[in-house]
């Protein structure tokens, strides 16, 4: 063994260090367990409350930090995950990028295309990745759907129909606070809209949109958006915070239809069903169980390590922010 070979054995590549800015429920329930199994090395969790940070960090053996700025000053942190209220995403993403950290932002990342472009420009100027967390895209059922479509299982795609609705919860929760970026469009509408973009070609226009507002809550509680892709495919996206639970989309083709029955929020142990209808035959395809949050952190880690992997995430961040802002403008 020569000296170069010996050095490579003795000095394995350091695992990228990750910090979490905020202790939101989604971070505690889904992100932290996934990070433990991911290529990242969890360094610290930050909260404005020292007690909350300590309670979240303790089971994972990482550092608890009081204050988000302090986390950005810690050594050994290469990247951060930001699961803060929507209204705080842009500011803390900007601060993290300015501090030289790669950034994963919980969905919806930012409310406007201008803001998204500014973050991407800052990331690219500093040689960093910025990525929006739509975890459902990392579940293998969506790759199966795209593969079936590419193989002609439903003929030529004509239309997409997506729906995501959840029952009402505590009216004092963040999702009902307009000043924190709450409301049905941002909270749940972003899911079917983002899934639609997988099938609408490189761009989509808004043909129509409507939002239903609750005057007591001061936010939109349901809505619908009609889109059209540059490939001629139309997309109907329905969503709401005052519905029974529904998390699905279907692809309607010239020769059949494919339905994903649990498209957006399957648990890590669930095996979602894809239902393929072809003339007088129905086939039920059971997808593998998968932790889609683990898929997110693996994908994000790839972008941290490989500059070539960042372009697609930057483009998707800008595209989604632009489409969501156009939907909202059309509905108001």
Residue with the bigger pLDDT between 4 and 166: it is 166
**What is the rounded average pLDDT of the residues 176-192?**
97
pLDDT at 236: 98
Instruction: Tell me the chain's radius of gyration from C-alpha atoms.
Output: 21
Over 70: is that where the pLDDT of 4 sits? no
Let me know whether 167 and 242 are in one domain. yes
Let me know whether 159 and 247 are in one domain. yes
Let me know whether 163 and 269 are in one domain. yes
φ, ψ (nearest 5 deg) of residue 115: -65, -40
Domain end call among 135, 150, 177: 135
> What percent of the chain stands above pLDDT 90?
95
Q: Give the domain CATH number at 278.
A: 3.30.360.10
Residues ≥6 apart with Cβ < 8 Å to 89: 82, 105, 106, 108, 109, 110, 181
Over 60: is that where the pLDDT of 240 sits? yes
pLDDT digits (tens, 9 = 90+) for 279-298: 989 999 999 999 999 999 99
In a domain? residue 3: no
Let me know whether 180 and 243 are in one domain. yes
Let me know whether 282 and 165 are in one domain. yes
Q: What is the largest CA-CA distance in the chain?
A: 74
Let me know whether 120 and 151 are in one domain. no
pLDDT digits (tens, 9 = 90+) for 244-258: 999 999 999 999 999
**What is the rounded average pLDDT of the residues 4-33?**
80
Domain end call among 77, 110, 135: 135
pLDDT at 69: 97
In a domain? residue 224: yes
Let me know whether 70 and 173 are in one domain. no
In a domain? residue 75: yes
pLDDT digits (tens, 9 = 90+) for 45-103: 999 999 999 999 999 999 999 999 999 999 999 999 999 999 999 999 999 999 999 99
In a domain? residue 332: no
Q: Rounded to whole angstroms, how far apart are CA atoms 268 and 248?
A: 17
Let me know whether 120 and 154 are in one domain. no
Runs of H (alpha helix) within the chain = 3-10, 25-26, 32-37, 50-57, 68-73, 89-98, 113-125, 140-150, 184, 190-196, 292-305, 310-331
pLDDT at 6: 44
User: What is the token pair recorded at 240?
Assistant: 């709401």
Over 60: is that where the pLDDT of 331 sits? yes
Let me know whether 111 and 144 are in one domain. no
Let me know whether 109 and 156 are in one domain. no
Query: Which one, of 164, 160, 136, 163, lies nearest residue 149 by Cα?
Result: 160
Domain end call among 86, 109, 135: 135
In a domain? residue 308: no
In a domain? residue 34: yes
Residues ≥6 apart with Cβ < 8 Å to 39: 15, 16, 297, 298, 301
Quick check: is 52 catalytic? Answer: no
pTM for this structure? 0.94
In a domain? residue 4: no
> What percent of the chain stands above pLDDT 70?
96
pLDDT at 82: 98
Q: How confident is the model at residue 12 (pLDDT cuts 50, 70, 90)?
A: low
Q: How confident is the model at residue 44 (pLDDT cuts 50, 70, 90)?
A: very high
253 is in which domain, residue-wise? 140-289
Over 60: is that where the pLDDT of 271 sits? yes
Let me know whether 217 and 236 are in one domain. yes
Which of the following is catalytic: 52, 101, 107, 175?
Answer: 107
Q: How confident is the model at residue 226 (pLDDT cuts 50, 70, 90)?
A: very high
pLDDT digits (tens, 9 = 90+) for 299-314: 999 999 999 999 999 9
Q: Please answer whether residues 209 and 239 qualify as being in contact, where contact means their C-beta atoms are separated by less than 8 angstroms.
A: no
CA count, 13 A, side-chain hemisphere, 307: 6
In a domain? residue 123: yes
Work out how many domains the chain is built from and give that number. Answer: 2
Q: Give the domain CATH number at 104.
A: 3.40.50.720
pLDDT digits (tens, 9 = 90+) for 106-156: 999 999 999 999 999 999 999 999 999 999 999 999 999 999 999 999 999
Let me know whether 160 and 183 are in one domain. yes
Q: Which has the minimum average pLDDT: 5-9, 104-108, 143-147, 179-183? A: 5-9
pLDDT at 8: 43
User: Average per-residue pLDDT in the chain?
Assistant: 95
pLDDT at 14: 79
């Amino acid at each position: 063994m020569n000296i170069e070979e010996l050095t490579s054995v003795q000095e394995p590549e350091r695992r990228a260090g990750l910090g979490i800015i905020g202790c939101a429920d989604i971070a505690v329930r889904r992100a932290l367990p996934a990070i433990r199994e991911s290529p990242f090395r969890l360094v610290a969790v930050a909260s404005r409350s020292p007690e909350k940070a300590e309670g979240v960090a303790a089971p994972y053996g990482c550092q608890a930090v009081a204050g988000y700025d302090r986390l950005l000053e810690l050594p050994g942190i290469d990247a951060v995950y930001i699961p803060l209220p929507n209204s705080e995403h842009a500011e803390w993403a900007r601060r993290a990028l300015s501090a030289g950290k790669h950034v994963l932002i919980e969905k919806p990342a930012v409310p406007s295309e201008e803001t998204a472009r500014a973050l991407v420009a800052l990331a690219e100027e500093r040689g960093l990745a910025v990525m929006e967390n739509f975890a459902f895209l990392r579940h293998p059922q969506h790759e199966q759907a795209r593969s079936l479509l590419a193989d002609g299982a439903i003929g030529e795609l004509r239309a997409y129909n997506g729906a995501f609705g959840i029952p009402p919860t505590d009216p004092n929760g963040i999702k009902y606070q307009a000043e924190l970026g709450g409301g049905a469009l941002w909270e749940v509408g972003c899911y079917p809209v983002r899934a639609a973009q997988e099938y609408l070609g490189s761009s989509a226009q808004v043909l129509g949109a409507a939002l239903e507002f609750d005057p007591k809550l001061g936010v939109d509680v349901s809505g619908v958006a009609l889109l059209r892709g540059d490939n001629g495919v139309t997309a109907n996206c329905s969503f709401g915070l005052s519905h029974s639970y529904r998390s699905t989309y279907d692809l309607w083709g010239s020769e059949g239809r494919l339905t994903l029955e649990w498209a957006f929020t399957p648990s890590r142990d669930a095996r979602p069903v894809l239902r393929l209808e072809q003339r007088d035959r129905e086939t039920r395809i059971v997808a593998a169980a998968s932790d889609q949050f683990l898929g997110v952190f693996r994908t994000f880690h790839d972008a941290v390590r490989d500059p070539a992997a960042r372009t697609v995430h930057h483009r998707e961040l800008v595209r989604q922010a632009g489409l969501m802002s156009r939907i909202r403008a059309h509905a108001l």
